[in-house]
Structure 1
Amino acid sequence: MQQNNSGIVRITRYLGKPLVCGLLTFLFFLILGSFILWQRYQILKEAEQREMANLIGFIENNIDHALKNSHTAALNLALLVESDGSISAFDEVAPGLLKNYPLLDAVQMVPGGIISMVYPKEKNLEVLDYNILEDPAVNREAFRAMHEKQMYFAGPFELRQGGLAVVGRLPVYIQNEFWGFSAVIIKLESLLEEAGLEKLGGDKYDFQFSKVDVKTGKETYFLPPLSEMSGYYTEHISFPDGDWKVYIALKEPGEVFYSLLPIGFFMLLLAGWLGWAMTNLLKQPEKLQALVKMQAGELSYNELKFRTIFNQAAIGMARVNSITGSFLETNLRFQQLFGYTPSEIKELNIVEVTHPDDMQEDLDKMKMLRQGVVREYSMQKRIRRKDGELRWVNLTVSPLWGDGETPTTHIAIIEDIHDKKTAETHLKESYEMVMEQNKRLLNFSYIVSHNLRSHSSNIESILNLYEETGDPEERKNYMRMLEKVSAALNQTLYDLNEVVSIQTNLDLTVQDLKVKDYLEETLGLLKVEIEKRNARIYTNVPEEMVVKFNAAYMESILLNLITNSLRYSSPHRDPEIHISGKKVENEWMLEVKDNGIGIDLKRNRDKLFGLYKTFSNRPNSRGVGLFITKNQIDAMNGRIEVESKVDAGASFKVYFK
């Protein structure tokens, strides 16, 4: 026992020597400074990586935008292919496409895999009559486009007419039979310029563009090679539409390290000075005592300063119990975000202030944090304020326990991103609306082109026959035929005008409508037709069924659905029509069910609501009513469903938002 005590005394005396304590102080602060320097290095390196990721994301968006425009151009070319396989108006449309899409160098029509049309023609004569499906150098990517039945960008490769380019091929099918390709050509330098590599690189970054060769499986590079030193910092993105990759790397990867050398030297000097200071302090006990008092005051000041920064920070901060999720300490901004007082918020936990749909993700990540799988995590979630308002925030969680230690508490940092998230949601909704309008416009333009051209051809043929014959009786017959075609043309124009009116009316008047009143009014209008067909109508629409809808659309929808039930009744039985309404979850549903001839949905479901699509040989069938009904319901954000069997009637269900 006495030996142990004497050993402790010797160690205490040894550590009490100023030189030893000064050396230990120097080593401690040298290690601490090295750690801080390393952390700073990691932060700067991560910042560089984030900047590179942002740049590569921007380049990805540019290339993706360019490819989507090229896809649109190829789709416009595909629309030139007639149902008989012929190509119409290529020479008129092609110049306009190159003018509207400056990125394109040329466009091609490739029926059966043979390039038969190209614009501009003078620069591309070498590729005319070139069969790409028989050339092993390019046919693999062409067959891939055929197999996947979608646009695929081949290359970059050397063109027969000269130059390195990317070729986008869109397979075209007529009645599910492969017809050929519509193709667009983009020079590689044009694509890279559109991506903005040169502008974005500047003096800081290098870029590389590559592709995996379909024959060898090796990666081919098209730009000067990147520095070998930059590999550690490299980010890259892939484009599955073309099997390409774009790389970005730092020109000077050691720049961050070199920038920290002065700080490292300063920390070395600081550690040496602190060791020297400790030595002097131990040599001068009185000065040491005064210094200790001064440091105690500074510590109190720093703690006060920390508390001030904590409470006045522009972002919400909280110390949270990692086991129970309760709030132990929060700053002012955190309390303002949630709308609670400090005492109120201490009575709550994370589950009570988190939106239920986001809770599971938060709990799963918290579990991974406690298990040591991750050292921190971030996520976007919705919080519920005291007044019930939901707001989007960005949450970052960091543990306050070390590796291998038992989880205790963690720091939660919350940033209000509600306005940004709302703007993103609105932008996404606007984009989806524009894309839907574009689809409708493309379909409508095809219908207009097909139907008006059909009528104009009939009129032209009748007039030619009229001019050729001298027989007055035949001329009268041709005039009667011309009147019928003219009437059909007028009806087509009326139908198309009705469709345009629905799809372009952005300022519809919406009001609370009592469905039962509109149903009774519609049945009154159809009373003669109902009695004529000896039809029995059964209604079960509740008085409280009130929906927000356009009045004119409601009248049209009811009239079309009931008229269809009467028009397509079975010749073997009297018509029976059941009209009912009920609440399905949080929306009203109106059902019109009949016992008529029915519809073969296995054959006709995809074209059920198409314009001029008919499913019976009834003479008065025009294929317009259901098309207009579907468009009116879509315009009001509703939906329509159909159940039917041949000779067993049909059921149309309309769901109102």
Structure 2
Amino acid sequence: MDQRKGVSYKISKKLKNPVVAGTLVFFSFIALGAFIFWQRYQILMEQRQSEMSGIIEMVEENIGQSLKSSYSAALSLALLIDDDGEIGDFENTAPRLIEANPILDAVELVPGGVITRVYPLEENSAALNYDILADSTRNEEARKAISSRKMYFAGPIKLRQGGTAVVGRLPVFIDNEFWGFSAVIIKLENLLRQAGLFGLTQDVYRFQFSKEDPLTGNEVYYLPGPVPDEAYSEYIILPDGDWKVYIAPKNPYRELASLWPLAAFIFILSLWMGWMMMRLLKRPHKLEELVEAQAGELYKSELKFRTIFNQAAVGIVRVDTGTGRILEVNRKFRELIGYSREELKNMDYRKLSHPDDIAENDLCMKKLLKGEIREYSLEKRSLRKDGSLAWIKLSVSPLWQPGEEPTSHISIIEDITEKKEAELQLNKSYQMVMDQNRRLLNFSYIISHDLRSHSSNIQSILDLYVISEKEEERRNYVELLKKVSVSLNQTLHHLNEVVSIQTNLDLKREPLKLIYFIEKTLDLLDMQIRSKNALVSLDVPPEAEVEFNPAYLESVILNFLSNALRYSDPERQPKVEVKAYKKDNNWVMEVRDNGIGIDLERNGSKLFGLYKTFSNRSDSRGIGLFITKNQVEAMGGEIQVESTPGKGTTFKVIFG
């Protein structure tokens, strides 16, 4: 015990030494100032990157507009070529195109890869009769346009007639045969001027224009100046010509240089604070006066710290660890969550968490309180004031030392909503593609079987036709062949309709009122309903609304209602009930009839199969239910069926 007291006394004595105390104060303020300096530097760098992103986006838009204008001109020029490959009124059309599109410097027609028409002729006559495809130094990008069947901008290249330009070549095909190119020429300086590279903040930033050489694979730069350093630059990639446009600061250390006065102030302040501490300890009789003076300085320092706290680029929250009450928040967090400082004061942080994410956070907090961990990070959902969700990355650090009683902790919150939503959308798209692949694989087996059946029939009839010697038999075989041909054509029509459903990944969805589409379909079936003397009842709430494709919804409802009428029991009056209700937050449409019914024990597994029929009717094709099921599943829905032979059938569509 005495030994510990002796050690404590020595430490206390050293701390009272003016030099030691002054040095500690100096380095403490240096550390605080370094934090302030770094935060300010980060803010300036973010502002610079944001400004460069805005400028480069403007350049991308300008170049995009120029290329769209060029494409329109090339397309107009291509329309001069008739179905026989003859060129129309080029001499009158070309000047009008140049006049209407200031971005263009020349236009060309290049049949078979040889330049035969060019305007203006005088400045570009040296290019006439030049075979692009025969020139191994130029033909790579021309062949790229042919293979893609889209307009591609080659270059920048040195022109035979002089100057450097980009050449947009639109491949022209007649009867699926390559005819040649409709081409436009844009001088490089003209393109860059239209993009705004010569007028946008040239005093602060510089631009660079580059492209990968198709022969060597090396990136070639076309503007004067050094190669951009990716650590300090922003860039865009323009796919129409595989170009890169960079923007970079002329002086990458400009922001850092602007902060040297702040660094000098921090150093001088720290030095002064250390010197003042030395003076305080040297003059105990002036301690009270100096403490009061220092209180004001400390207040200013705290005010500066608060300023940095509120200007931080991420959300910062201080929380009472024991109660979970929020003690302090910065501006960035308030902007993210939508609450004011007063609303957040003393609020339990759990109220800002999604209910499904509270358990994981509480588990990590328990480990932190037990000392098992000293910090933790996790991704979770946070509830904004307006009820929307924000994905955040939460990093929690305690403000107590190991072995001490827990007091409060700091939470650093980073908004990752866009990143997370992109991940979720990517997973959704991946699942959709996998489902499409699965359905297409199953469908390929159906196609193989059905087409093989038709081809076998045709082959057998042709074999019999060849060996038959009687003219009457041959005529009969020809008639059979016509029937098989008609059946094959109908099969191909059905298969094409199903393929269009299964391969369409970008179907238009919109909110649709069920009652409107059901009543519209009943109007279409009015004659059938009258002829069958059928009773139709509706129980569909006006608010029943689903996200669906309009054409698909009409097809689905028409299929179910027409089937209910078609397969009615001739021994009793047909009755059809249509109703809609909500189940598990999803709308369900139910179509019930008292028709002949389906034996689900025998046919349940084949109910939605292609060309599967379950009645003796001659007009049953087995295509309707297959298409309907694919349409519903393509919209994220599900079909259920209940049926008893002789009593009727109920189809349920659960909208996703």
Q: Which amino acid in structure 2 is aligned with residue 224 of structure 1?
A: P
Asked if 1:147 corresponds to 2:114, the answer is no
2 CA distance for matches of 1:173 and 1:279?
88
Deviations 1:323-373 (A, max 9, x none): 99x7634769959946996699537434448xx9xx99x99xx99xx9x9x
Q: Secondary structure at the match of 1:47?
A: helix
Q: Verify the 8 A CA contact 2:63 2:191 in the aligned structure 1.
A: yes
The 1:143/1:332 distance shift into structure 2, 3 A limit, reads: closer
The 1:262/1:84 distance shift into structure 2, 3 A limit, reads: same
The 1:165/1:342 distance shift into structure 2, 3 A limit, reads: closer
Q: What are the equivalent positions in structure 2 for 1:275-294 lying under 5 Å apart?
A: 275-292=274-291
The 1:179/1:522 distance shift into structure 2, 3 A limit, reads: same
2:351 to 329, 346, 349: 349
1 CA distance for matches of 2:80 and 2:533?
49
Aligned to 1:25: 25
Q: What are the equivalent positions in structure 2 for 1:24-43 lying under 5 Å apart?
A: 24-43=24-43
Q: What are the equivalent positions in structure 2 for 1:3-402 lying under 5 Å apart?
A: 6=6, 8-226=8-226, 233-292=232-291, 319=318, 328-329=326-327, 334=334, 337=338, 345-346=347-348, 348-352=350-354, 383=383, 385=385, 390=387, 399-400=396-397
Deviations 1:126-173 (A, max 9, x none): 323322111112100011122222221110001122221001122233
The 1:174/1:321 distance shift into structure 2, 3 A limit, reads: farther
Residue 103 of structure 1, CA deviation: 0.7
The 1:88/1:239 distance shift into structure 2, 3 A limit, reads: same
Q: Which amino acid in structure 2 is aligned with residue 222 of structure 1?
A: Y
The 1:310/1:518 distance shift into structure 2, 3 A limit, reads: same
The 1:412/1:160 distance shift into structure 2, 3 A limit, reads: same
Q: Secondary structure at the match of 2:180?
A: strand
Residue 64 of structure 1, CA deviation: 2.3
Residue 193 of structure 1, CA deviation: 0.5
Q: Secondary structure at the match of 1:123?
A: helix
- Aligned-residue sequence identity (percent) comes to 40
1 CA distance for matches of 2:19 and 2:290?
19
Q: Secondary structure at the match of 2:198?
A: helix
Deviations 1:495-516 (A, max 9, x none): xxxxxxxxxxxxxxx9997667
Q: Which amino acid in structure 2 is aligned with residue 244 of structure 1?
A: W
The 1:265/1:222 distance shift into structure 2, 3 A limit, reads: same
Q: Verify the 8 A CA contact 1:395 1:415 in the aligned structure 2.
A: yes
Aligned to 1:465: none
Q: Verify the 8 A CA contact 1:108 1:118 in the aligned structure 2.
A: yes
Q: Which amino acid in structure 1 is aligned with residue 351 of structure 2?
A: N
Q: Which amino acid in structure 1 is aligned with residue 220 of structure 2?
A: T
Q: Secondary structure at the match of 2:241?
A: coil
Residue 284 of structure 1, CA deviation: 1.8
Q: Which amino acid in structure 2 is aligned with residue 346 of structure 1?
A: D
Structure 2 length as normaliser, TM-score? Answer: 0.55
Aligned to 1:478: none
2 CA distance for matches of 1:79 and 1:282?
93
Q: Verify the 8 A CA contact 2:169 2:184 in the aligned structure 1.
A: yes
The 1:170/1:390 distance shift into structure 2, 3 A limit, reads: farther
Q: Which amino acid in structure 2 is aligned with residue 148 of structure 1?
A: S
The 1:395/1:25 distance shift into structure 2, 3 A limit, reads: same
1 CA distance for matches of 2:197 and 2:90?
34
Q: What are the equivalent positions in structure 2 for 1:217-616 lying under 5 Å apart?
A: 217-226=217-226, 233-292=232-291, 319=318, 328-329=326-327, 334=334, 337=338, 345-346=347-348, 348-352=350-354, 383=383, 385=385, 390=387, 399-400=396-397, 409-412=410-413, 542=538, 544=540, 586=587
The 1:200/1:173 distance shift into structure 2, 3 A limit, reads: same
Aligned to 2:447: none
Q: Verify the 8 A CA contact 2:39 2:308 in the aligned structure 1.
A: no
2 CA distance for matches of 1:82 and 1:395?
60
1 CA distance for matches of 2:339 and 2:589?
36
Q: Which amino acid in structure 2 is aligned with residue 26 of structure 1?
A: F
Aligned to 1:431: none
Q: What is the count of residue pairs matched by the alignment?
A: 472
Residue 191 of structure 1, CA deviation: 0.8
Structure 1 length as normaliser, TM-score? Answer: 0.55
- Structure 1 stretches lacking a partner, 5+ long: 418-509, 566-578, 606-637, 639-655
Q: Secondary structure at the match of 1:211?
A: strand
2 CA distance for matches of 1:152 and 1:63?
14
Q: Verify the 8 A CA contact 2:395 2:413 in the aligned structure 1.
A: yes
Task: Please tell me the root mean square deviation across aligned C-alpha atoms, in Å.
Answer: 5.9
Q: Which amino acid in structure 2 is aligned with residue 125 of structure 1?
A: S
Residue 52 of structure 1, CA deviation: 2.3
Q: Secondary structure at the match of 2:252?
A: coil
The 1:91/1:46 distance shift into structure 2, 3 A limit, reads: same
1 CA distance for matches of 2:346 and 2:170?
62
Aligned to 1:437: none
Deviations 1:573-625 (A, max 9, x none): xxxxxx998869759899xx998799999xxx9xxxxxxxxxxxxxxxxxxxx
1 CA distance for matches of 2:73 and 2:151?
11
Q: Verify the 8 A CA contact 1:375 1:399 in the aligned structure 2.
A: yes
Aligned to 1:653: none
Q: Verify the 8 A CA contact 2:354 2:382 in the aligned structure 1.
A: no
The 1:347/1:244 distance shift into structure 2, 3 A limit, reads: closer
Q: Which amino acid in structure 2 is aligned with residue 275 of structure 1?
A: G
1 CA distance for matches of 2:183 and 2:590?
47
Residue 42 of structure 1, CA deviation: 3.9
Deviations 1:190-216 (A, max 9, x none): 110011111113211222212221122
2 CA distance for matches of 1:80 and 1:6?
103
Q: Secondary structure at the match of 1:233?
A: coil
The 1:332/1:88 distance shift into structure 2, 3 A limit, reads: same
1 CA distance for matches of 2:533 and 2:175?
42
Q: Which amino acid in structure 2 is aligned with residue 262 of structure 1?
A: P
Deviations 1:251-300 (A, max 9, x none): 22333333233333333322222222111100122432444466568768
Residue 104 of structure 1, CA deviation: 1.4
The 1:589/1:77 distance shift into structure 2, 3 A limit, reads: farther
- Structure 2 stretches lacking a partner, 5+ long: 419-511, 563-575, 592-612, 628-634, 636-654
Q: Secondary structure at the match of 2:248?
A: strand
Q: Verify the 8 A CA contact 2:25 2:277 in the aligned structure 1.
A: yes
Q: Which amino acid in structure 2 is aligned with residue 252 of structure 1?
A: N
Aligned to 2:425: none
2 CA distance for matches of 1:5 and 1:234?
60
The answer to which of 129-138 and 62-71 deviates more is 62-71
The 1:382/1:157 distance shift into structure 2, 3 A limit, reads: farther
2 CA distance for matches of 1:108 and 1:168?
10
